[in-house]
Amino acid sequence: MTTVDSGRETAPSAFDGERLVAPEPRTPKRPKFSRRAGGFTPYALLIPASALLLVIVGWPLLQLIITSFQQFGREQVFGKPPAWVWFDNYVGVLTDPAFYAVLLRTVVFAAFCVVITMVLGTLVALMMNRLNKFFRLFLSIGLLLAWAMPALTATIVWGWMFDTSYGVVNAVLTNVFGLDFARHQWLIDPLSFFFVAGIIIVWGAVPFVAFTIYAGLTQVPDEVLEAAQLDGAGSFARFRLIVFPYLKPIFLITTILQVIWDMKVFTQIFALQDIGGVREKTNTLGVYIYQVSIAGGNFGVGGAIAVIFTLILMTISLYYVRQVVKEEEL
Amino acid sequence: MSATIAPGQNVPAPVGDETRAFTGGAPRAARGGASHRRRIVSVVLSIVAVILFVIFVFPVYWMINTSFQPTGDIISSNPHFWPDNFTLRNYQRVLFEPGRTPFFPALGNSLMVTLLTVAIALLFSFLAAVAVTRFRFKSRRWFIITILVIQMIPGEATIVSVFRVIDGWHLLNTIIGLTIVYVAGVLPFTIWTLRGFVNGVPVDLEEAAMIDGCSRAGAFWRVTFPLLAPGLVATGVFGFIQAWNEFLMALVLNARPEMMTLPVWLRTFLVANGTTNWGGVMAGSTLMAIPVIIFFLIVQGRMTSGLVSGAVKG
């Protein structure tokens, strides 16, 4: 594993096809001087973080995997030795239509949230890049407020705004727009439940994406954009050919983070169910695992679902991990 | 304000309207048209910015607005867009009414856990970030990949085992127990972000200091460390939000009323009475959100640069 410079010769430009920005010049001699192996030092520096992660992430993960092969209920939590059932839990989960319903719901919902968040976040970022200082600060403060709102608080507030009897949304739709939304129950129907949940999640996530991409936009070199302008590239062409390739790492990392966060979403769905959703029809995978293991006491089955879910998330992010490993000359 | 723009007027796309401004040889008239158009675009953009501002702020406003209204105004078919009958009664009830889980211990718990988490996570992730950026060593690559992969594990999955570990150490319902779990929770992301920052400081600076007679460690402390301040702030903010807002782990690990953190406290509120006291819930929500919002407004400028340098090499 001591491949000091593996892949350095072939270090690709971040942009397939169109090489608009020259790759950074590499000076292969330098590592000898500064990036020494360092003897024991790097390991010592890693001890605190590794030890903690090992105990609080590694060990529970191992236990989770073991549990998923066992018949593990409430008695086992209190000390009764669990029986090994090997793949029974997995077979049970994978032949259960309810699992696929939850999985499909999670994937579709997350996909919607990610796409809408990324598009809106990008548009807001492009807009911020064009605003004058005053309006940019103004908008930034608005975004910061939404970003800073804790997920639970945000869900409760939005739930209150969509309240059946006294919610401001129903009142405005009825009184201002003359629509028949008096006493409309937003959370009962799964589709509109997820509509509300989607609004909460996108509202909370757009600021992160917008700020990140905006910060990236300020790093796109003006000369390149001006050169493209002189060559007659329109605004969309410039975005597609320059801005996007240049910011590709940022788009990649924000998208993957959104995918992971939206697939794992727990607080918003859980709290919205508290406020008035039908649990069985609105569970996403994170909440489903909680329902099965902690509320239902089926830790073996819940463990199996959790392992499957983790594998799915890892598969999704495999592309990202590979990309990082390739590009960052690890 | 919108009077300057006729409806249906063909407004150019937000990006790239100055295309023509750069074509030096364009006739005067065309240039004049371009600058006119640019002004319109900037007005339109400003209006859109205001609309967006309203959309993003409204729920926060609505929370605060509701929290200052008497129950009679809250529960009426016509929502009050302004607290006409301003009252502090909701706050008074949330903060001092006996029989509820008290607010101040929860606030104290949240503050303690959050500050400890930030401090410890920054220290640990700083050491790790230095290790992976400034040294080439065996299994370095595996460490980074593991850091990436850990972020895919859903917290709900491992919570039972985490519960058993913390229980085994007799740390249930303690600040320390929850802090340990939170630090582990934020470490992958904070290591990753700080790594970007340390990478961003050119090694040449350290080398120059070493040539001038500094030891390797001395060069790092005197030259690189000061340049990492924005990175530490950005990373710290992330840890702060995570710890302050975290709900599930706190719900499971610190269930005793006097050991609850604010999110768990807020939830007991919501379900305690069958008919939700919205005024009280909104007052509680405001109390919980305000510290983060203030903190955010103070450090805002430092954050984004940090998030980006995690993704793009500096």
DSSP secondary structure letters along B279-304: HHHHHHHHHHHHHHHHHHHHHHHHHH
Distance from CA of A148 to the nearest CA of B (A): 5
Q: Using a CB-CB distance cutoff of 8 angstroms, which residues of chain A are in contact with residue B178?
A: none
- Residue A218, CA distances (Å) to A19, A128, A247, B57 in order: 20, 10, 10, 25
Q: Using a CB-CB distance cutoff of 8 angstroms, which residues of chain A are in contact with residue B215?
A: none
Report, as ranges of residue numbers, the positions in chain B whose pLDDT lies below 70.
1-33, 271-275, 300-314
The whole-angstrom distance between residue B75's C-alpha and the CA centroid of its chain comes to 32
Distance CA B61, CA A141 (A): 13
- Residue A210 resides in a domain: yes
Q: Using a CB-CB distance cutoff of 8 angstroms, which residues of chain A are in contact with residue B285?
A: 153, 156-157
- Residue A37 resides in a domain: no
Distance CA B208, CA B180 (A): 39
Torsion of Cα atoms, A89 then A90 then A94 then A98, to 10° = 40
- Residue A142, CA distances (Å) to B56, B60, B119, B240, B300 in order: 6, 10, 28, 20, 12
Say what the pLDDT of residue B273 is: 46
At A135-192, the pLDDT tens digits run 888 888 888 888 888 888 899 999 999 988 888 999 999 988 888 888 889 999 999 9
**Which DSSP letter does residue B10 get?**
-
Report A:80-99 residues touching B (Cβ under 8 A).
none
Say what the pLDDT of residue B300 is: 67
Say what the pLDDT of residue A36 is: 56
Distance CA B5, CA B74 (A): 38
pTM of the shown model:
0.81
Instruction: Say which of B48, B160, B162 has its CB closest to residue A293.
Output: B160
- What percent of chain A lies above the pLDDT cut of 70? 87
Distance CA A324, CA B132 (A): 14
Is B170 at the interface with chain A, CB within 8 A? no
At A39-92, the pLDDT tens digits run 788 889 999 999 999 999 999 999 999 999 998 888 887 778 888 998 999 999
Across the interface, do A55 and B278 touch by the CB < 8 Å criterion? no
Say what the pLDDT of residue A38 is: 64
- Residue A52 resides in a domain: no
Report B:268-307 residues touching A (Cβ under 8 A).
270-271, 278, 281-282, 285, 288-289, 292-293, 295-297, 300, 303-305, 307
Say what the pLDDT of residue B8 is: 37
The yes-or-no verdict on residue A12 having pLDDT over 60 is no
* Token representation of residue B36: 């006119």
Q: Using a CB-CB distance cutoff of 8 angstroms, which residues of chain B are in contact with residue A144?
A: 293, 296-297, 300
- What percent of chain A lies above the pLDDT cut of 90? 39
Distance from CA of B152 to the nearest CA of A (A): 6
Is B191 at the interface with chain A, CB within 8 A? yes
Distance from CA of A156 to the nearest CA of B (A): 8
Higher pLDDT: A203 or B192? It is A203
Higher pLDDT: A6 or B136? It is B136
- Residue B94, CA distances (Å) to A149, B69, B89, B265 in order: 19, 14, 9, 11
Say what the pLDDT of residue A33 is: 41
Distance CA B54, CA A274 (A): 28
Distance CA B248, CA B157 (A): 11
Asked if residues B314 and B199 have their Cβ atoms less than 8 Å apart, the reply is yes
Is B72 at the interface with chain A, CB within 8 A? no
- Residue A164 resides in a domain: yes
Distance CA B245, CA B242 (A): 5
Say what the pLDDT of residue B18 is: 40
The yes-or-no verdict on residue A25 having pLDDT over 70 is no
Across the interface, do B244 and A157 touch by the CB < 8 Å criterion? no
Chains A, B: CB contacts within 8 A come to 351
Is B134 at the interface with chain A, CB within 8 A? yes
* Token representation of residue A287: 């909440």
CB contact burial A53-88 (16+ within 10 A = b; e otherwise): beebbbbbbebbeebbbbbbbeebeeeeebeebeeb
Across the interface, do A49 and B125 touch by the CB < 8 Å criterion? yes
Say what the pLDDT of residue B306 is: 54
Q: Which residue of A has its CA nearest to B202?
A: A34
Is A136 at the interface with chain B, CB within 8 A? yes
The model's confidence at residue A229, banded by pLDDT at 50, 70 and 90, is confident
Higher pLDDT: A206 or B216? It is A206
Say what the pLDDT of residue B19 is: 40
- Residue A309 resides in a domain: yes
- Residue A107 resides in a domain: yes
Across the interface, do A309 and B157 touch by the CB < 8 Å criterion? yes
Is A2 at the interface with chain B, CB within 8 A? yes
Say what the pLDDT of residue B304 is: 56
Asked if residues B239 and B190 have their Cβ atoms less than 8 Å apart, the reply is yes
3-state secondary structure of A70: strand
- The CATH code of the domain that includes A300 is 1.10.3720.10
- Residue A60 resides in a domain: no
Total tally of structural domains belonging to chain A: 1
Q: Using a CB-CB distance cutoff of 8 angstroms, which residues of chain A are in contact with residue B125?
A: 49
The model's confidence at residue A102, banded by pLDDT at 50, 70 and 90, is very high
The model's confidence at residue A269, banded by pLDDT at 50, 70 and 90, is very high
- Residue A246 resides in a domain: yes
Which residues constitute the domain of residue A134? Answer: 84-329
Q: Which residues pair with A71 in a beta bridge?
A: A83
Instruction: Say which of A67, A139, A145 has its CB closest to residue B293.
Output: A145
Distance from CA of B170 to the nearest CA of A (A): 15
Is B215 at the interface with chain A, CB within 8 A? no
